[in-house]
Structure 1
């Protein structure tokens, strides 16, 4: 699970071989075996002994701002990586081989998005199913266009991103349609979000981003060497490439929260230009994200945690580069 510390005045320290989290109300001991990563927001603190305990157990520590954006990370310096993998990543970043890799990411994203909509539609009225199927048809047409793209990535980048953007517009249009009227939205909004749905989505994508970055580095890949998303100073472009097929996990959790009527206005605070998720909202969201990613599914012929599928896929990408 991800251990999220977002209560003002919280203090995480080491107690023998375990973590101990202190708040004003209580003390909680947590085994290192139960923690994959630690997320700390403003107003909390951590001891150096707790940091060492995390590093000794290969547990990433990430510091977040109030929007869920990463401010910085601490992790073990011996995470696996090879110069050859990164050299190969640089080689394909400007080639047709790179185009094929990002096409696979995008096609998988479209397939997962369509599967999500089909699952949502299966529990709706005939009229709503018809509405959803109309948008799925548009998404499948865009998928076929993505599949036909070929050529060096510099030549086809804008076309691929255009197709991806149109897929997103159709997909989020359906999600908004399925929400209760008071929570519908007109499109994606960021920093800050203009509505409750995007507020939950943005914070959750920040959590997912940290999972992808960690898996990328452990697999020996360079998070800064992007293919579809171009390089920029201090910009982890490859993480943006890789994250696309996994966004549906976040979308499923957030839609389920609205579907179960667990979200309400009290989970958000108004700020200039939009909304931010407050402590109660974060508690609700993180609890559900942890439960979801700890769930087990049948994947590549074996039963593993949903969280572990990301690492498995990134190791496959690294092996592909080595073998290529």
Structure 2
């Protein structure tokens, strides 16, 4: 599990082989063996004995800013497992298994979209606009991912983007037409958003990117080493 230290003034040390956390309200101890990473979002005091214990057990310590973006990381320079993991990450991106993984992610995303539309249909009933048609179209289009499963990412990228885009247009049109009157929109818009709903959605996506990037760091993966998205300088493309 990930230990999140988000309270100002915490004092973290090693005590009898455990992580010992002291706050104004009391103290508690956690077995280092239960931790996969430590996330710090507030000003806390870290004992060097605690840091050494984390290094010994290959538990990275991650520092995040107020909006959840990873800013720094403490870990051993001799993490052989991290080097192995990074090499495997590079190799994985050049195999059909990477494409199959992306197909599974797209199908999972599509299932979530269908669930959202079904929820709207149940709540609005006969008042829902175009939901039935959107659900049927999306259910048909989602099967277009499957023939790409055995291809390499380079071959499958554009067709997958085409399928995703076709589904997204139908989905967002259905969502936009079933919102309260002041929030209705016709299409997804970014940079800049052209309506209130898209502005909020873009902001929340920005927050989610930081959460995903932190999780990738904690798992030992390189967020800047993309699999589906093409690498860009100083952009965590794997998070996308």
TM-score category of the 2 structures, normalised to the smaller one? 0.5 to 0.7
TM-score normalised by the chain length of structure 2: 0.65
Q: Aligned partners of 1:19, 1:160: CA distance in 2, in Å? A: 46
Structure 2 Cα separation of the partners of residues 37 and 184 of structure 1: 42
- Please list the CA deviations of residues 1-51 of structure 1 after superposition, one character each: whole Å capped at 9, or x if unmatched: 43322334444333333333344x323314135544321125344333222
Q: How does 1:160-239 map to 2 (within 5 A)?
A: 160-168=160-168, 171=171, 194-195=199-200, 202-215=206-219, 217=221, 225-233=225-233, 235-237=235-237, 239=238
1:18 and 1:29 in contact (8 A); partners too: no
Indicate the residue corresponding to 1:59 in structure 2.
59
Aligned residue for 1:303?
A: none
User: When the two structures are superposed, what TM-score results if normalisation uses the length of structure 1?
Assistant: 0.52
Which entry has the higher C-alpha Rg, 1 or 2?
2
Aligned partner of 1:6 in structure 2 is 6
Query: Which residue of structure 2 aligns with residue 258 of structure 1?
Result: none
In the TM superposition, residue 63 of structure 1 has moved relative to its aligned partner by 1.3
1:182–1:104 CA distance, 2 compared to 1 (3 A): same
Distance 1:176 1:46 in 2: 48
- 1:121–1:128 CA contact under 8 A, matched in 2: no
Measured in 2, the distance between the counterparts of 1:88 and 1:154 equals: 14
Q: Distance in 1 between matches of 2:178 and 2:35?
A: 35
The 8 Å contact of residues 69 and 213 in structure 2, kept in 1 or not, is answered as no
**Alignment-derived partner of residue 92 in structure 2:** 89
Query: Which residue does 1:144 correspond to in 2?
Result: 143
Q: How many residues align?
A: 228
Deviation at 1:173, TM superposition (A): 6.5
Aligned positions of 1:28-107 closer than 5 A: 28-32=27-31, 35-75=35-75, 77-79=79-81, 81=84, 85=88, 88-89=91-92, 91-92=94-95, 99-107=99-107
Whole-Å separation in 2 of the counterparts to 1:177 and 1:121: 11
Is the partner of 1:79 in helix, strand or coil? helix
Q: State whether residues 65 and 71 of structure 1, in contact with CA within 8 Å, keep that contact through their aligned partners in structure 2.
A: yes
Name stretches of at least 5 consecutive residues in structure 2 with no aligned partner. Answer: 192-197
Residue matched to 2:195 = none
- Structure 1 position 229, deviation (Å): 0.9
In structure 2, what is the Cα distance between the partners aligned to 1:117 and 1:199? 20
Deviations 1:85-140 (A, max 9, x none): 45643643xxx6654443343233323443x4267358634236775444333432
> What stretches of structure 1 of length at least 5 have no aligned partner?
242-324
For residues 197-252 of structure 1, give each alpha carbon's deviation from its aligned partner in whole angstroms, at most 9, with x where no partner exists: 665554345334433454464xxxx6654332112345554x337xxxxxxxxxxx
Pairwise CA RMSD of aligned residues? 4.3
